[in-house]
Amino acid sequence: MPLHNNTRDIGLAAIYFFLSTVITWWFIYCGASFYHFDEHKMLLSCSIAGAKWGVQILVAILFLKDTRWLFIRRIAFTCFAGSCILIPYCIESLRNLIPGNGFLVSLIAAVITMIVLYYRSVRTTGISIKWYFLWLGCLAMAISLQLTVVFHFVG
């Protein structure tokens, strides 16, 4: 792949992941009561969310050749799109429009969106479906860590 496309893909991926991190932190901050206002738990939650993407980036850099940056850009957009789903919860006037527990509903909607978009990223990049299943495994592990280590719902 030509260098200029890699540079563009790297730049866009960095922007998407940066914005996603900012939005995710904003969401966590707005939901501080779910973390009992414990900044350590809030940082841990954000770190777990980011780690599943970090694993994907690392594995893509190590094992994909010509398509690594294209794929990383696409999954960065997936991450960003999922984070954007969280924005209505962050805006107080919109938060009350979300049915039920807005925090949980927002998370579920974001995860479903990312599952669909990640699959699309794998398929349009033309890499093995194993990448999708690897990410689903990382997602399951991240959710398990959130439930056990951060929220103490399980275990």
Per-residue pLDDT at 152 exceeds 80? yes
Task: Give dist(CA 14, CA 140) in Å, integer.
Answer: 24
**Who's near 90: CB < 8 A, 6+ residues apart?**
23, 26, 27, 30
Task: Give dist(CA 16, CA 79) in Å, integer.
Answer: 7
Per-residue pLDDT at 129 exceeds 90? yes
Per-residue pLDDT at 80 exceeds 80? yes
Question: What does the domain layout of the chain look like in residue ranges?
Answer: 3-150
The per-residue pLDDT for 98 is 87
- Give me the chain's average pLDDT, please: 94
